[in-house]
Structures are given as C-alpha cells and as structure tokens.
Amino acid sequence: MTKAIIRNGAVVPMEPLPVEWTDGTEVNLEGEMPESADEIERQFDELDCLCLAGNEAEHQKLQSALDDADREAKTWMRREMGLPE
C-alpha cells in the first residue's frame, strides 16, 4: 500500500509511486483518523514518552533520516513539477 499525506488539500505520496501509475490513473484512497481529540492526545502522550526514552545518538540518527527523507521528497516534488533540482 502506498502511503500519502494531505498537504494543502492535495494527496502527496510519501514514497515513489509504482511505475504503472501514470498520469490519469484512477486510484482508491482509504484512510484512518483517530476517532477523537482524546485519542489524539493519548497518541501524543505515548509519543512523548517514547521520545524521552531515547538517547542523543538515537535522536541524531532519527534526525539524519528525517533530513534525508525531506531532501528526497523535495527533490521528487521539484522533478514532478518540472522545477530545477
């Protein structure tokens, strides 16, 4: 399953799309959202606990991976939009 996020009202893939998905290909989207504000708050509390349990080396490794993913996503989006990389 391809994962995507909603950004400015558009569905933006978080990874490269399958090569057979060319322009005009129709896809079905299904999504899950937390049911309530309490559930969202519970998930953020759980995330806070996980973050606090980490150490500096793990934090740096995660930040590096996030930076790489951000760069790749921006490069991919620029390429898709026909902009210079």
Give residues with Cβ within 8 angstroms of 68, minimum separation 6: none
Residue 50 has what pLDDT?
Answer: 86
- Residue 57 scores a pLDDT above 80: yes
**pTM of structure:** 0.41
Is the residue at 67 inside a domain? yes
Q: pLDDT tens across 12-47, in order?
A: 898 999 899 898 999 888 877 667 888 888 989 999
Residue 34 has what pLDDT?
Answer: 61
Is the residue at 68 inside a domain? yes
- Torsions phi, psi for 74 (to 5 deg): -65, -40
Question: Which structural domain, as residue segments, surrounds residue 64?
Answer: 56-85
Structural domain count of the chain: 1
Residue 68 has what pLDDT?
Answer: 96
Rounded mean pLDDT, 42-54 = 88
Is the residue at 10 inside a domain? no
Is the residue at 77 inside a domain? yes
Is the residue at 22 inside a domain? no
